[in-house]
């Protein structure tokens, strides 16, 4: 069971040349974390291995964002996106994540996740979108929350001529990491 962590307002950053890497089994249980993961999150291998990756899920993240992630990777496609994570101490850190299925003989064996520090300018664009998604989720209720917020995001981005993937990739590539 995931332990309750009280969020703080303290941000943790890491070097733009560092990558947080983890691997999970097909159900999302952590099978590997690198030293940068441990340094930034505060979770040790003992804390994390065998535990659901949502161990680092920050409550500011809309559930619809994770529905999009799981829908994408379950189909064998890679996923890119901005994620606000929580540390063992309750602090937060933003990442630009790339989650890739580990496929052998047509079967998904697990997932690799490589995260880089999210550019500040990109976070400024993402935060209001995620806030609106959380508002929609609260209004929709638990049973419909994920679908409702993801439908809003998809429609909102389509109005601007983007898919989710084109939007986040463009946002990451067009803002220097500062």
Q: What is the CA radius of gyration of the chain?
A: 16
d(CA 13, CA 16): 9
Give me the pLDDT at residue 36, please. Answer: 98
Among residues 126, 124, 75, the alpha carbon closest in space to that of 97 is found at 126
Domain ranges of the chain: 20-174
Q: What was the pLDDT predicted at 1?
A: 46
pLDDT for the residue 175: 78
Q: What is the reported pLDDT for 177? A: 65
The whole-angstrom separation of Cα 76 and Cα 42 is 30
CA dihedral 20, 114, 26, 169 (to 10 degrees): 140
Other Cβ atoms closer than 10 A to 39? 13
Average pLDDT value over all residues in the chain: 95
In CATH, the number for domain 20-174 is: 3.30.450.20
For the chain, list residues with pLDDT below 70.
1-3, 176-178
Rounded distance, CA 58 to CA 105, Å? 35
pLDDT for the residue 119? 95
Q: Find out whether 99 and 113 touch, Cβ atoms under 8 Å.
A: yes
| pLDDT at site 4 | 85
């Amino acid at each position: 069971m995931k332990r309750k962590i009280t969020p703080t307002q303290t941000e943790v950053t890491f070097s733009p040349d560092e990558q947080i890497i983890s691997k999970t089994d097909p159900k999302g249980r952590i099978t590997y974390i690198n030293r940068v993961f441990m340094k930034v999150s505060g979770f040790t291998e003992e804390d994390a291995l065998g535990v659901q990756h949502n161990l680092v899920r920050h409550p500011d993240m809309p559930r619809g964002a994770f529905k999009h992630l799981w829908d994408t990777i379950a189909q064998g496609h890679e996923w890119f996106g901005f994620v606000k994570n929580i540390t063992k101490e309750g602090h937060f850190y933003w990442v630009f994540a790339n989650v890739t299925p580990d496929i052998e003989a047509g079967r998904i064996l697990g997932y690799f996740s490589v995260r880089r520090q999210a550019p500040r300018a990109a976070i400024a664009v993402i935060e209001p979108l995620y806030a609106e998604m959380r508002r929609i989720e609260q209004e929709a209720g638990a049973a419909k929350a994920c679908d409702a917020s993801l439908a809003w995001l998809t429609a909102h981005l389509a109005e601007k001529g983007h898919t989710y993937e084109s939007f986040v990739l463009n946002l990451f590539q067009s803002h220097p990491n500062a």
